[in-house]
Copies of this chain bind each other. A is one copy, B any other.
Amino acid sequence: MARDLSGKHVAILVAPKGTEHVELAAPKAAVEGAGGRVSVVGIRRGEATTVRHDLEQGETIAVDAAFSDVSADDFDAVVIPGGTVGADRLRLDEDAVGFVRGFFEQGKPVAAICHGPWLLVEADVVRGRTLTSYPSVRTDIRNAGGTWVDREVQVDQGLVTSRKPDDLPAFTAKLVEEIAEGKHEAQARSV
């Protein structure tokens, strides 16, 4: 299984507030550890404040680019962390939704964990796909036409999903594999 991400550029999303810190930090470390480059992309360049366990203060992190200034053309893959408040905020941003949809249109790998899949529901890209999420999101995924499964990590043709922070080891291992493999033409079938 390919594990080398040299030359790959991965976007990891962050909300201004409320993104679950470890769900951003662990994928970032995994991608960089495999030789890839990460840009943190948010609603505005500058700083974001993360959380721990949804409601406790996390850390201040740098936002490298704004959704309005970049597109899927600029990256090889995207990672969508959770955090209930952060994921809820991102789905309200039209630029964020359009940015994520672009990866599906181009068949590029997408990884989403916890409440992150709400952004996929908002982008209307889960129809016919099999995925997992934090269990509170399962009804929204099913109502959007997806098949929800209760597994630590689910891989469906370039779409990697997990349920919660405890799943991060399995999530990061699979997302590195899928990004190393590159484009998955079938990824575009839900768009």
Contacts and interface: CB of A to CB of B under 8 A. Distances in A.
Interface stretch (A86-94, A148-156, A167-175): A86-94
A101 interface: no
A162 to B, nearest CB: 17
A9 interface: no
Interface stretch (A22-30, A60-68, A137-145): A137-145
Given A51-B55, A55-B51, A144-B143, A91 B136 contact: yes
Given A54-B85, A85-B84, A143-B121, A135 B18 contact: no
A55 to B, nearest CB: 6
Contacts of A54: 18, 85
A122 interface: yes
A118 B122 CA distance: 15
A115 interface: yes
Nearest to A134: B88
A136 B55 contact: no
A76 to B, nearest CB: 28
Contacts of A18: 54-55, 84
A181 to B, nearest CB: 30
A113 to B, nearest CB: 15
Contact of A140 (B55, B89, B121): B121
Contacts of A183: none
Nearest 10 pairs between A and B by C-beta?
A: A143-B143, A140-B140, A92-B136, A84-B85, A88-B136, A84-B88, A54-B85, A143-B144, A84-B84, A122-B139
